[in-house]
Amino acid sequence: MRITLSFQFFDLPLQHPFTISRYTVNIQKTVVVCISDGIDSGYGEATANPYYHSTQERLTGSLLKVKPIVEASSLLHPTELWQQLSQLIPDDYFALCAVDIAYWDFYARKNSKTLRSYWSEENAKTPLTSYTIAIDSLAMMQQKIIEKPWPIYKIKLGMPDDIEIVKKLREITDAVFRIDANCAWTVEQTIENAKILKDLNVEFIEQPLQAEDIEGMKIVKSKSVLPIIADESCQREEDVDLCSLLFHGINIKLMKCGGITPALRMIENAKAKGLLLMAGCMTESTVGISGLCQIASLLDYLDADGALLLRQDIAEGVRFDFGKIDYSNHFGTGVKIYPQ
């Protein structure tokens, strides 16, 4: 049995321009990795992302570097393969993620199992996913909510009139709000905003300060009336220990940490430290989202709406029914790539 690794880049057009406090995206470039033996195929994904120095050129170089190791793996356990690959491309966590998920998917399919069954029951309870409302004109943010009725919205903020935006959005829905400031607030803003936002049925605030503002986060954690969740401050496994001192919870993103293998270790460590657990996504296709949803039963919160923001997807896999995960009946992650 010969295993092969191949990959293909796609342009993912978005339904609306996606704006956060740092930049705007209209078309998301992404790479899909396929690991196959000609009978079963596993799929993983990583996006190009300027903030994390993930480019098409860098992803291509990293994937070509690990290709011989994967193709000689002879069905190693995924955790063993990840260890080898992480030494070969120690700084390209996005590429590691794409290969790790593709290999887990392939490994599960070869063993006729769903991927999530390796760490949870098939029908284990999972949290509802939020749906993201990116920064836009107030009228457009309201329109997005009207177009997509949903039980939980993640509201991207980082504008001078943030509180007024939330108040106006609250007028048109009683859904739960989660706030993501993407490092745009000060210590004082966060503490004061939290008091107002709590009365507006906001569940938590994600990454209000710059990732390097450790002293500021100590103050925010001690004084905020809402839970504070780390995102940019929690990228790798080694970040969990510090984040446990500065935040009430962490948001694990598979591309930032290098895939499912390290994410499982982060979850174990975070639970031992009593942290709230969330996992989030990039703007990505159903390939990546289906991999992410395999760990959903281990989490308190889920942000897996990446594919819902696309104008056109490239695969089928998990779907969502008003926030609830609807898993595929197929083995692995259940992903099937649409004919191109």
Task: Specify whether the CB–CB gap between 320 and 303 falls below 8 A.
Answer: no
pLDDT tens digits for 176-200?
A: 999 999 999 999 999 999 999 999 9
Task: Specify whether the CB–CB gap between 207 and 232 falls below 8 A.
Answer: yes
pLDDT band of residue 340 (cuts 50, 70, 90) is confident
**Bigger pLDDT: 16 vs 258:** 258
Strands 131-133 and 324-326: unpaired
Beta carbons within 8 Å of 149's beta carbon, 6+ residues apart = 173, 322
pLDDT tens digits for 133-155?
A: 999 999 999 999 999 999 999 99
pLDDT at residue 22, as a whole number: 67
Task: Specify whether the CB–CB gap between 202 and 226 falls below 8 A.
Answer: yes
Q: What is the distance between the alpha carbons of residues 331 and 317, in angstroms, rounded to a whole number? A: 11
Q: Which residues of 311-322 are buried (b: 16+ CB within 10 A; e: fewer)?
A: eebbbbbbbbee
pLDDT tens digits for 43-69?
A: 999 999 988 899 999 999 999 999 999
CA end-to-end span of the chain: 27
Q: What is the distance between the alpha carbons of residues 317 and 264, in angstroms, rounded to a whole number? A: 21
pTM of the complete model: 0.95
Question: Which tokens belong to 319?
Answer: 């779907």
